[in-house]
Structure 1
Amino acid sequence: MKISFAPPYIDQLVIDEVMDTLNSGWITTGPKVAILEHQMKQLTASDAAVCVNSWTSGAILMLKWFGIKEGDEVIIPAYTYCATALSVLHCGATPVMVDVDDDCCISTTAVLKAITPKTKAIIAVDIAGWPCNYKELKAIINTPEIKKLFIAETAKQKALNRILLIADAAHSIGATIDELPASKYSDVSIFSFHAVKNITTAEGGCICINLPPAFDANNEYRYLKLYTLNGQSKDAFTKSNGGGWKYDILFMGLKINMPDICAAIGIGQLKTYHAKLLPLRKRIASIYCEIFKEMDWFIEPALKRDNRESSYHLFALRIKGISEAQRDQIIDSIMSSEITVNVHFTPLPMLTLFKDLGYEIGKYPSAYALYANEISLPIYPQLTDGELIFIIKTVINSVNKVLQLDNFKELEEIEL
């Protein structure tokens, strides 16, 4: 039985949306992108939503929007994908890496210690779909002593008058805090629609903003849309529909717009996300937890607690007491049965680019410990019960083999 790690969910709704776009004669940014933005605004309860061609470009855009430049600092966790740090570097600023807590979220204690007069933003990362403690982060950046440290240099910075809180929500579409969309609790949430995400557009992302009243959401939306199209005053769809051929370049923008052909995939998937796709992911996570909790070596991931709930993007299996080398042996054993698994993530200081920049993994013990015993298991709506049982059996047998333990539960007795 061959099981993929994260194939895209493509049903007839998605196919119909894509074919509608192809038959319309318009495939680049146009009406489908507008529909997807409206869907995202509703799903996240945000003031505005702007679709882009990737999470990374969305993060670069928002850092540039806030005026972040060389000499500025942005606090990020050491335990994340490289794009979190690369977006900061692309703006000329310095990523200030801090360690994470046991739930993989950025350590609020470490954040507080890392803030300096150079700090312009914090990017908190929702690993595996689990939302960070944005309430506590917001409380920190609104503390009078911390606000006094903030040096506003641009119009946007003066309007906010404090550190910008960005949620790296690449994994967390559908995650909640106090039963509300988690995106309500940060200034900016940036989602990824990469092919392996809960909702995909093949490649793409979406910026959702929930800024204070000093900002007009409609004005910011229009400005950001211009920014995604090189700062051009008139987009191609407007020109093609009688808007006239003349245009202007108002400022030095980026070319990071999402095309309609990509948006169509996301539109189709979002139609059933809360009713079908997200509940199926939650069911699979619950089954994994229910069975693995019988194993002494199982460390249960953060999924639903403290008024927070995950989007169930990844199932991060953690195995108590193992070394990185043992983890790798377990992965090799699992994959020998044609089950594809993954690891999320290699901490940034372990990667060549960041080692060359002077970051040292020894300074981030929690990030390393989480990485060393983690295996990401398949979790997606198409998984059948038979495939789930096969994955679970294989994982348990592989762990017990490497740890030289005996099975103590017959999986055939478990009903899914």
Structure 2
Amino acid sequence: MRLNIPLTGAPEVDAVREVIESGYLTQGAKTAAFEDAVRGYTAARHAAAVSSATTGLHLALVALGVQPGDEVVIPGFSFPATANAVIQQGATPVFVDIDEATFNLDPALLDAAVTDRTRAIMPVHAFGLCADMDAINAVAARHDLPVLEDAACALGGTYGGRHAGTLGTAGVYSFHPRKIITTAEGGMITTDDDELAKRIAVLRAHGAVRGELYMEFVEAGFNYRLSDVHAAIGLAQMTRIDDIVSGRRRAASELTSRVSGIEGVQVPTEPAGTAHTFQSYVVLLDDRIDRDEVIRRMRTRDIETTLGTYGMHLQPYFRERFGIPDEALPHTTRAHHQALTLPLYPQLTEDDMDAIADALRLSIEESTTR
């Protein structure tokens, strides 16, 4: 049983065929239509499609004016692309510990992380659950800092009735096959800031502004565009998004009812006022359970599982460059070692979820030190 299977079919195939047969393959009308669809769905004022969420984060940091020598505050627990985008801009990621219940950045630790070199705060909506954005935005306002949401997993998630990715200065979604919708590879930047949107549009396409007859290059920009081939898949996916999100939430509820009684398993939480996308269904195991052995045991039962995500300070590059001790980020460290992602997608059947729960119970029994 796979960890995730994108919900795709004939509409996506037909959409790609239409673009290929048109002869217009790069960023064009389909990309613009995809941007319109995301903008309409999220109620963002602007949306700019990009080649990936990673390039989207980097592009947004550049557009926000983050420069070499600056600092950007991020949670310690995330896929390393979050920190890589900061480093690619020559800035320094400042890792903040997380709340173990939500896996999101702990806003109580933010003030202490801000220095006179801080130029942005970049929360991550872990696994599709919005971070505590009221508290984060309050800290940002005190220090006059922009907030860039890493909403890679959170398209369709809400906080206080507003969409993830529209809760700060700008937000970035991912359309990797493991995310809520997919374009195979791709991302999207959203913002309500008119001037920021204009700069993103210029920087995305080589720093060019199109004149009557040809382009003029006004910035040293990037080629971070999304092709119409990818955008066509995204457009087809957007017609399914309500079913995808509701299907993931239904499956998560069913899975929770099955695994919540297993000893040593902390199931995902959903704070009041938030709607979780459950891009990943991540549990936290007691310390007496060998999480890696559970992954191995589940594999022998033909069920794919993996770690939650990464304590970035524990990865070789960041460990060697920054030398952050484990005790400086205790909850991040524990989540890196004890969080476990289980299969979750709308296509799971009742029998599939029974099999996941039964296999998890047995695998934990075989991987526990008494």
Task: State the TM-score, normalized to the length of structure 1.
Answer: 0.85
Residue 356 of structure 1 and its aligned partner are, at CA, apart by 1.1
- Write out aligned runs for 1:30-179 (5 A): 30-102=28-100, 103-143=102-142, 146=143, 162-179=144-161
Q: Which amino acid aligns with 1:12?
A: A
Kept after mapping to 2: 8 A contact 1:341/1:375: yes
Mark the runs of 5 or more structure 2 residues left unpaired by the alignment: none
Distance 1:335 1:371 in 2: 19
Q: Which residue of 1 aligns with 2:16?
A: 18
CA distances 1:395-415 after superposition (whole Å, capped 9, x unpaired) = 11111222379xxxxxxxxxx
Distance 2:302 2:121 in 1: 40
SS at match of 1:284: helix
Q: Which amino acid aligns with 1:291?
A: R
Q: Which amino acid aligns with 1:342?
A: T
Residue 43 of structure 1 and its aligned partner are, at CA, apart by 1.7
From 237, 240, 245, the equivalent of 1:269 is: 237
Identity of aligned residues (%): 25
CA distances 1:84-130 after superposition (whole Å, capped 9, x unpaired) = 11111111111111111121111112111111111100110111111
Kept after mapping to 1: 8 A contact 2:78/2:311: yes
Q: Which residue of 1 aligns with 2:264?
A: 297
Kept after mapping to 1: 8 A contact 2:80/2:310: no
- Write out aligned runs for 1:237-252 (5 A): 244=213, 246-252=214-220
Q: Which amino acid aligns with 2:164?
A: A
Q: Which residue of 1 aligns with 2:184?
A: 202
Q: Which residue of 2 aligns with 1:370?
A: 335
From 322, 337, 340, the equivalent of 1:358 is: 322
Which entry has the higher C-alpha Rg, 1 or 2?
A: 1
Q: Which residue of 1 aligns with 2:175?
A: 193
Residue 226 of structure 1 and its aligned partner are, at CA, apart by 2.1
Q: Which residue of 1 aligns with 2:344?
A: 379
Residue 337 of structure 1 and its aligned partner are, at CA, apart by 1.3
Q: Which amino acid aligns with 1:191?
A: Y
Q: Which amino acid aligns with 1:329?
A: E
- Write out aligned runs for 1:276-291 (5 A): 276-291=243-258
Mark the runs of 5 or more structure 1 residues left unpaired by the alignment: 147-161, 212-216, 236-242, 406-416
Kept after mapping to 1: 8 A contact 2:165/2:173: no
Distance 1:9 1:48 in 2: 27
Task: State the TM-score, normalized to the length of structure 2.
Answer: 0.95
Distance 2:296 2:31 in 1: 41
Change over 3 Å in CA distance of 1:111–1:359 after alignment to 2:
farther
Q: Which residue of 2 aligns with 1:306?
A: 272
Distance 1:121 1:220 in 2: 14
Residue 367 of structure 1 and its aligned partner are, at CA, apart by 0.4
From 209, 228, 233, the equivalent of 1:233 is: 209
From 373, 395, 415, the equivalent of 2:360 is: 395
CA distances 1:153-196 after superposition (whole Å, capped 9, x unpaired) = xxxxxxxxx21101100111111112221333211110111121
Kept after mapping to 2: 8 A contact 1:341/1:378: yes
Q: Which amino acid aligns with 2:116?
A: P
Kept after mapping to 2: 8 A contact 1:126/1:170: yes
CA distances 1:206-239 after superposition (whole Å, capped 9, x unpaired) = 000134xxxxx2x54343222111012239xxxx
